[in-house]
Amino acid sequence: MTAANEHLAKYEEVLKDGVPTAAFSRLMIGNKHIFKDKTVLNVACGTGLLCLFAAKAGAKHVVGIDKIGFMAQARDTVAANGFKDVITLVEGRIGDTSLPFSEFDIIISDWMGKCLFYESRLEEVILARDKYLKKDGLIYPESVSLYMAAIEDSDFKEEKFGFWDNIQGLDYSAFKPVALRDPLVDTCDIRAVVTQPYGFKQFKLSDVKKEDLIFDETFALTALRDDFIHAFIVWFDVSVASTHSPVHFSTGPHTKSTRWGQTIFYTRETPAIAKDQVVTGHFVVQPNTENAHDLDIRISYKLEKKSGSEIDGDEATSGESASESLSYKMY
């Protein structure tokens, strides 16, 4: 596969992801009165799909901006759908590229990345909002919320990390801590989830600042049953609540899968947890000091011993308290 095809495959994945594309379509086509005769800026426009939705909703003019190697094909797509005079696609980045309007009524963007922030375009949306959005302008989506839960995942954890203990009769366990630092992006089976979900962070796009993307938030996860914790998972929900036809979608394990999946953070230990027991901790996010496009994530957790808990048949000791401080890197 060529580099160009790999790049196109990324946009193909976006177009095939029916959950967010349907949500953005409902947002605009279902609220035509909001978009009619308005100027719309689509940040990180990709192939121009959201631009086309806005044009179909009656926008007066739509400007899409992105640094994409298929801008010529995107422009041809705009023309093929009859919106050549309504949609202008600009190749470049917000902040260093001139746009045909000095301000816009509405900003839209499918900016979210894996674990919400990895490879996200949120900083560009913030810059566009502060530079181009009218004082009473609208920005969609309106808010995003981060959620967390713990999962039981013994088989895959053993498959992914246990093999380091014996490779052709050789001890490679020194590499296991390094392997554990890499989060996995995948879709979890809802049956693996062992705690209630916990919403630990929300961002409102109308006032979020770049500094807000560095944070330290607490969590408290209540066990649904007696089981073991092999990992924590994180996902996000996207919401537009103020419109006549509200829009909401989730990237969690309880709903239809999306291209973002869930981000899985495996633990070194395997603590036992009893029904209604609570595991507490901190979730810390900041850009990597050497490469701002990478994310450094820390999870520290504590599980207090609960008397009367008996769980058999795993490597953990029943009812023991546990605590760890774990570092991860998304790159």
Of 125, 140, 155, at which residue does a domain stop? Answer: 140
Asked whether residue 202 is assigned to any structural domain, the reply reads: yes
Rg for the chain, CA atoms, rounded: 22
- Same-domain status, 111 and 150: no
CATH number at residue 279: 2.70.160.11
The mean pLDDT value for 295-314 works out to: 74
Asked whether residue 14 is assigned to any structural domain, the reply reads: yes
Residue 63: give the domain boundaries.
Answer: 3-140
With the C-alpha atoms ordered 94, 100, 104, 105, is the resulting torsion angle positive or negative? Answer: negative
> By C-alpha distance, which of 106, 63, 109, 102 is closest to 85?
63
- Same-domain status, 66 and 212: no
- Residue 181: enclosing H or E segment and its boundaries? none
- Same-domain status, 156 and 297: yes
Q: At what angle do helices 71-80 and 49-56 cross, to 10 degrees?
A: 20
Of 81, 113, 140, at which residue does a domain stop? Answer: 140
- Same-domain status, 8 and 109: yes
- Same-domain status, 291 and 159: yes
Q: Which of 10-14, 277-281, 296-300, 305-309 has the lowest mean pLDDT?
A: 305-309
- Same-domain status, 121 and 151: no
CB 235 within 8 A of CB 262: yes
- Same-domain status, 158 and 103: no
Digit-coded pLDDT (tens) for 254-289? 999 999 999 999 999 999 999 999 999 999 999 888
- Same-domain status, 130 and 82: yes
C-alpha–C-alpha distance, residues 234 and 280, integer Å: 15
Report pLDDT for 193: 98
- Same-domain status, 286 and 228: yes
Report pLDDT for 315: 45
C-alpha–C-alpha distance, residues 190 and 265, integer Å: 16
Asked whether residue 266 is assigned to any structural domain, the reply reads: yes
CB 65 within 8 A of CB 41: yes
Q: What angle do CA 16, 92, 291 make, to 5 degrees?
A: 80
CATH number at residue 44: 3.40.50.150
- Same-domain status, 98 and 61: yes
- Same-domain status, 178 and 285: yes
- Same-domain status, 148 and 120: no
Report pLDDT for 5: 55
Asked whether residue 288 is assigned to any structural domain, the reply reads: yes
> By C-alpha distance, which of 186, 182, 162, 181 is closest to 173?
162
In this prediction, residue 317 has a pLDDT band, given cuts at 50, 70 and 90, of: very low
Q: What is the pTM of this model?
A: 0.91
Total count of domains within the chain: 2
Of 140, 170, 203, at which residue does a domain stop? Answer: 140
Whether 72 shows a pLDDT value over 80: the answer reads: yes
CB 2 within 8 A of CB 67: no
Asked whether residue 253 is assigned to any structural domain, the reply reads: no
CB 236 within 8 A of CB 202: no
Whether 3 shows a pLDDT value over 50: the answer reads: no
Asked whether residue 250 is assigned to any structural domain, the reply reads: no
Digit-coded pLDDT (tens) for 219-255? 999 999 999 999 999 999 999 999 988 999 999 999 9
Asked whether residue 246 is assigned to any structural domain, the reply reads: no
Enter the tokens of residue 164: 């380091």
Q: Got the DSSP string for 64-105?
A: EEE--TTHHHHHHHHHHTT-TTTEEEEES-TTSS--S-S-EE
Query: CA 71 → CA 64, 74, 79, 119, distances in Å?
Result: 10, 5, 12, 20
Q: What is the mean pLDDT of the chain?
A: 92
> By C-alpha distance, which of 55, 83, 208 is closest to 139?
208
